[in-house]
Amino acid sequence: MLTGFTYAARAIVGARDNQEDACQFAEVDGAGTVPLGRSGSGSGGWRGANLLAVLADGMGGHAGGAEASSAACAAFISAYTDSTGTLGARLAGALDKSNRAISAALDRDRALEGMGSTLVAAAFSPGGITWVSVGDSPLFLFRGEKLYQLNEDHSLAPVLDGLAARGEISAEEACAHPRRHFLRAALTGGIIEMVDLRQTALPLKEGDWVLLASDGVESLSHEELADVMAGAAGGSAEAMVAAVLAAVEAKGEAMQDNATVMGIRVG
């Protein structure tokens, strides 16, 4: 049975003019919530059995992206911590409340028309990890120097990669496609086209690392991210998230998106 967690979060703005990511941890066993502001810096340790991590990425280039991610994140935390029932039902209900929060913001200010957000939330319990996600913000498990993406990618990237695997386009064309990062699903206050909801807990082991990230981290390839995490796995949660974002910045991408990392070490 899991005995606790250490965690940290950090964010960078990248080449953008403002930060459109929001994230928050909640220590669910009665210790309240630990909010992390738009600076993205914060850390803690939790000896309780239940921890919630939520990350929302405002839709870049759309009016109110920062407002959308902030509203979605806050609404999710509030709804989840105030609810009862199975973890899957609580995650689904909190996601619905997040979407409604964006709808309510639009009703208050029509100048925000077009805003939206991705969202990924992970609930840690004695049985392991459950999650819900909409969009392209990845949820990773790092175990034994191997990196696994747990949640679905609701961008066009997996569709294009599938075309490449079938030989309909080249791998180079798939990687360079101008609509590769086009979202097929997001929270916009309306119908949510795609939801990845894990209903039963995936068991975790002492020493596992879980990473929630906004898609700005994907400046690193899967292999590069695995190498960075392997090098930092023996250290603190603060050192892990700092190492990942340092590697993102070292890539020097001219159009680097906001990047936020939430790192959770099990045990």
CA dist., res. 106 & res. 109, Å (int): 5
pLDDT given for residue 50 in this prediction: 86
> Which class is 5-266 in CATH?
alpha beta
Residue 147: strand pairing partners: 142
Q: Give pLDDT tens digits along the chain (267 positions).
A: 666 889 999 999 998 888 999 999 998 864 445 444 443 455 566 556 689 999 999 985 566 899 999 999 999 999 999 999 999 999 999 999 999 999 999 888 888 888 999 999 999 998 999 999 999 999 999 999 999 999 999 988 888 888 888 988 888 888 888 788 789 999 999 999 999 999 899 999 999 999 999 999 999 999 999 999 999 999 999 999 999 999 999 999 899 999 999 999 998
**pLDDT the model gives residue 46:** 54
Q: Which amino acid is at 109?
A: D
